[in-house]
Each structure stands twice: as structure tokens, then as C-alpha cells.
Amino acid sequence: MLPAIRKRSYVPAYLDDFFGSDLVKSFFSDGADYNVPAVNIKENEKSFEVELAAPGLDKKDFNITLDNDILTISSEKQDEKNGKNENFMRKEFQYTSFKRSFSLPESVNRENIKAIHKNGILIIELPKNEEARVIKNKKIKIS
């Protein structure tokens, strides 16, 4: 299961406990799941770094695209486990899907974007253009 940010909820939490989550969510919900993986965005003097928490997904499960100035990270994974015992009372399919998009600032060098997947975290490095790099906290000597 992905660490996620819940986008909206129509049902107070105490109703889940009283009625059961399946009944309440199916009655008040439009059927769509609005969870997306949590993201950290860091900046240093040479680049921006996007970290997306996605445990249980492999690097082959991700699709990263750049269209104009929009970076899009998406994934679809369907877990098909065929068990020999087909006499089950309830079986829930495993399907994970999400899509996140980010507007890139002009300072990002679009030609040198890199991505790695490590320990359940997708890390995308967005290097800055040379002219966008700023020297921070430089002391100027008075002559």
C-alpha cells in the first residue's frame, strides 16, 4: 500500500467505525479513489530533487514524461495472483494507479533530468541551468 495523501472525504470517521467502512464509503462516494503518493521536494544550489514514496512498486511500474514545462509521474500496477484454491468468500483485486504532475521552473535544465528508484522511493533529480545557480551568503570585503 502506498503512503498517501487523502484528497477528500465526505464521511466523518466515526461513521466508518459505526457502520463499517465498505457500506459508508460505497454510499457516500463516487467510486473513485483519490489517494496519491506523498512527495518531498528539495532544493540545493545545483538542483531540485523530487522524492516520491512508492513502496511495493518497481522501477518498471513508473512512467515519467516531460511535456512542455509539465513533469508527470504516473504508475499502473495490477497484481494478479492466481491461487489454486478458488473457493473464496471475498477476494479484493490489487490495482494501484496514480498520476502526479508538476510545473517546472525555467531554471531547470530539461536535457539532464535523471531518475533512480531506491528502497521504495523514486528520486528525480532536476539540475539547474548554470545561469540559475546562485552563490549564497557571500561576504564582500570592503577595500
Confirm whether 63 is domain-assigned.
yes
pLDDT score, position 132: 66
Tell me the longest C-alpha to C-alpha distance in the chain. 86
pLDDT of residue 109: 93
d(CA 136, CA 96): 42
Here the cell at position 108 is: 531547470
33 lies in some domain: no
The whole-model pTM stands at: 0.63
Average pLDDT score, the chain: 76
Domain-embedded: residue 3: no
Quote the CA–CA distance of 28 and 103 in Å, as a whole number. Answer: 33
Number of domains the chain contains: 1
pLDDT value at position 140? 78
* pLDDT on residue 39: 93
Asked whether residue 15 is assigned to any structural domain, the reply reads: no
Q: Provide the pLDDT for residue 99.
A: 92
> pLDDT: is 108 or 96 the higher one?
108
Q: For residue 103, is pLDDT > 60? A: yes
- The 3-state DSSP class for residue 95 equals strand
CATH code, 120: 2.60.40.790
* 1 in any annotated domain: no
Domain contains 6: no
Domain limits at 97?
38-132
Query: Is there a domain that residue 141 lies in?
Result: no
pLDDT in tens, 25-78: 455 555 454 578 899 999 998 999 999 998 888 889 999 999 989 999 999 887
Q: Is residue 9 part of a domain?
A: no
Q: What percent of the chain stands above pLDDT 70? A: 62
